[in-house]
Amino acid sequence: ERPKILVTQRVPDVAYPPLETIGEVEANMEEGLIWPYEELLRRGPGHDYIFCLLTDQIDARFLEACASATPRLKMVANMAVGYNNIDVEAATRLGIAVSNTPGVLSDTTADLAFGLLIAVARRIPEAERFVRAGKFKGWGPLLFCGADVHHATLGLIGAGRIGKIVAKRASGFEMRVLYYDVYRLPPEEEATYHLTYAPLDELLRESDFVSIHTPYLPSTHHLIGERELSLMKPTAYLINTSRGPVIDEKALVRALQAKQIAGAGLDVYEHEPAIEPELLTMDNVVLLPHIASASYATRNQMALMASNNIVAYHEGRRPPNLVNPEVLG
Ligand code: GLV
Ligand code: GLV
């Protein structure tokens, strides 16, 4: 019997052929349409495999419904490196495998983190709005002065795959790079990436730019809150391309209003897609719609990787990107 496969959103074309080769694919083909939770809950049960996105809430209730249906759900393949949208504990308890797409998006995400950093420091979006508004009347000695990126100190919170590549980008700008992580890197890796370990508070006090590259976990919820923001320099910028709730967004608004920090570059939000409304009015904040991994090549790779995990499971091979390998013993 061919397996039933659900693809919850319109994804890059390369994702479909491998799935169609092994099974019957039911897919939401309407670009930009995210099924509300109730609809997902109605459509999900009765599939062997679900290809999902980070905007799908794959919680215990959903997984239990899928585990008690026929066919029983075997795996959810998330087309994202982050999988905080999935209750992995519940999946593991129910014997449902979960996979993600690590590695293929690290360079692309690091590029955008760096772009956001430069954009906010050099006021690029603000200056561009000025030009489009017809306000450019000639070169000015004071016009849109910002902060230097080169030779500044960059503090990375999280030095996993993405954080390390941001460090590589930073070395071209001759930045001094500090990092904080719960895992201290081996000395050889610190040397390779020119990274200096610092406790979080020290990193916050010393950095001109703080860029976040941690997963979202209970332990990283509001990792950057009022206290942490108060430690940053008034000239420093906060960059986030990881997950919104790592920052207490209301505390960030207060810190920006009080000029405790100079600005922020955000690709992700605490209550996505909602954004604290004050942020939308601030010129020293650059706001992007969660696009850090959005290059054509990378999104194709992520899509193919998610499909390949499903194909591997179906063919009795070990899916290469399992986040709960214990389900397969
Ligand atoms: C995007 O945010 C991802 O986790 O891949
Ligand atoms: C994600 O890929 C990370 O480890 O930073």
Do 139 and 218 lie in one domain? The reply is yes
For residues 214 and 118, state if they share a domain: yes
Residue 84 confidence (pLDDT) above 90: yes
Residues with CB under 6 Å of ligand 1 are 54, 80-82, 105, 293
Going by alpha carbons, the residue nearest to atom 1 of ligand 1 is: 80
How far, in Å, from the CA of 102 to the mean position of ligand 2? 7
Query: How many of the other CB atoms lie within 10 Å of CB of 183?
Result: 8
Cα of 7 vs its chain's centroid, Å: 21
Q: What is the mean pLDDT of the chain?
A: 98
Render pLDDT for 243-291 as a digit per residue (tens, 0 to 9): 999 999 999 999 999 999 999 999 999 999 999 999 999 999 999 999 9
Write the pLDDT tens digit of every residue in 17-64: 999 999 999 999 999 999 999 999 999 999 999 999 999 999 999 999
Q: Residue 131: give its domain's CATH number.
A: 3.40.50.720
**Which ligand lies nearest the alpha carbon of 214?**
2
Residue 1 above 90 pLDDT? no
Query: Which positions ≥6 away from 294 have C-beta within 8 Å?
Result: 108, 112
Please give the tally of structural domains in the chain.
2
User: Does residue 144 share a domain with residue 74?
Assistant: no
How far apart are the CA of 268 and the centre of ligand 1, in A?
Answer: 10
Residue ranges in the chain assigned as alpha helix (H): 16-22, 37-43, 60-67, 88-93, 106-121, 124-132, 161-172, 187-192, 200-206, 226-231, 249-257, 296-314
Q: Which atom from ligand 2 is nearest to the alpha carbon of 214?
A: 5
pTM for the model stands at 0.96
Pairing status of strand 195-197 against strand 176-180:
parallel
Smallest-distance ligand from the CA of 216: 1
CA distance linking residue 42 with residue 62, whole number of Å: 9
How many angstroms separate the Cα of 305 from the Cα of each of 33, 169, 240? 22, 25, 25
**75 C-alpha to ligand 1 centroid (Å):** 19
125 and 242 assigned to the same domain: yes
How far away, in angstroms, is 106 Cα from ligand 2 center?
7
- Give the pLDDT mean for 170-176: 98
Are residue 240 and residue 300 in the same domain, yes or no?
Answer: no
- Between CA 158 and CA 176 the distance in angstroms is 16
In this structure, the answer to whether residues 158 and 275 fall within a common structural domain is yes
Closest ligand 1 atom number to CA of residue 82? 4
Confidence band (pLDDT; 50, 70, 90) for 311?
A: very high
Annotated catalytic sites, by residue? 243, 272, 290
**Are residues 78 and 158 both part of a single domain?**
no
Do residues 304 and 244 both lie within one domain? no
Task: Please name the amino acid found at residue 276.
Answer: E
Share of the chain above pLDDT 70, in %: 100
pLDDT tier at 148, thresholds 50, 70, 90: very high
Task: For residues 20 and 141, state if they share a domain.
Answer: no
Give the number of other Cβ atoms within 10 Å of residue 315's Cβ: 9
Structure tokens at 289: 């719609």
ipTM field: 0.70
Q: Based on the fold, state whether residues 260 and 305 are members of the same structural domain.
A: no
For residues 65 and 194, state if they share a domain: no
Query: What's the rounded Cα separation, in Å, for the pair 159 and 108?
Result: 16
What is the spatial distance between Cα 285 and Cα 244, in angstroms, rounded to a whole number?
A: 15
Residue 71 clears pLDDT 90, i.e. is over it: yes
Q: With 90 as the cut, is the pLDDT of residue 200 above it?
A: yes
- My answer on whether 315 and 173 are in the same domain is no
Ligand 1: distance of its center to the CA of 279 in Å? 22
* pLDDT reading at 214 higher than 90: yes
Residue 329 pLDDT: 80
Nearest CA, atom 3, ligand 1:
80
Which residues span the domain enclosing 37?
4-104+296-328
Query: Could you give the CA distance from residue 118 to residue 212 in angstroms, rounded to a whole number?
Result: 15
Judge if the beta carbon of residue 162 lies within 6 A of ligand 2: yes
Positive/negative CA dihedral, 91, 22, 19, 80:
positive
Where on the phi/psi map is residue 123: left (φ > 0), alpha (ψ -120 to 50), or beta? left
Contacts of 207 (CB under 8 A, 6+ apart): 153, 154, 155, 178, 232, 233, 236
- Contact 106 CB / ligand 2 (< 6 Å): yes
